[in-house]
Amino acid sequence: MQQQTPNNNMTQGMQNMNHGGHELFDLHEVLACTINVLDQFMIFRQFVQDNELLDILDRQYNFALFHYNITAECFSTGQKPSQETQTYMIRNLSQPIYGIKPTQPKKPNQSLADVKDAGISAHMLGLVKSHAALLTMTSVEVTNPAVRRVLASQVQNFIEMAYEIFLYQNRNAYYQVPQLEATDMQKMLNTFVPAQGMPQMPPNNRAGTVH
């Protein structure tokens, strides 16, 4: 048994070393940014007034924390995490409201008493959107298959989280969506059409060339 211990330790060491150098820096950034999202959500919680927004914040915090843990686990071990990634579900899925209606002009807060749900939800949306982009950019650079899968599986979920916050803001007129005039929209919609038939690809004269 004593003779097997060094070999086992060496095998384990080789498993958690199956990362590229660039990947190490990227994963440090992803995990540090996830901590930042979690910490910011914790700070935001004390200012939230609306129960629906509080429910969104808590569910998204728990989802992000779970995936932080399994990302940190598979990054350190180089192997598949002990738990499967989860799917985020939007609880109040509604249709977007289009159009602009009058609202009060926006300006910087003068004190913490001015912090409202509109601003908190905007900060939440910005953090989640940025993290979705970071996960996407990082996952295409990762060489370790287990870590790549864990990161890639989170991208769609963070997109859903961002969309949930957008819908909340949209329902409350915090995030209004203007539209073009009908004629302009139709012109834009008709700008691109599907390709017809098979493309006439040029021949390749280099394949099989002996160098």
Place of tokens 């901590």: 35
Tokens of 205: 């004269």
Instruction: Kindly report, residue by residue over 114-137, the tens digit of the pLDDT.
Output: 999 999 999 999 999 999 999 999
Q: What is the pTM of this model?
A: 0.87
Residue ranges in the chain whose pLDDT is less than 70: 1-17, 209-211
pLDDT of 23 reads 85
pLDDT of 10 reads 47
pLDDT of 175 reads 96
> Where exactly are the structural domains of the chain?
20-83+115-182
Interhelix angle 145-171/21-45, rounded to 10 degrees, is: 30
pLDDT of 5 reads 52
pLDDT of 15 reads 55
Q: Which class is domain 20-83+115-182?
A: mainly alpha
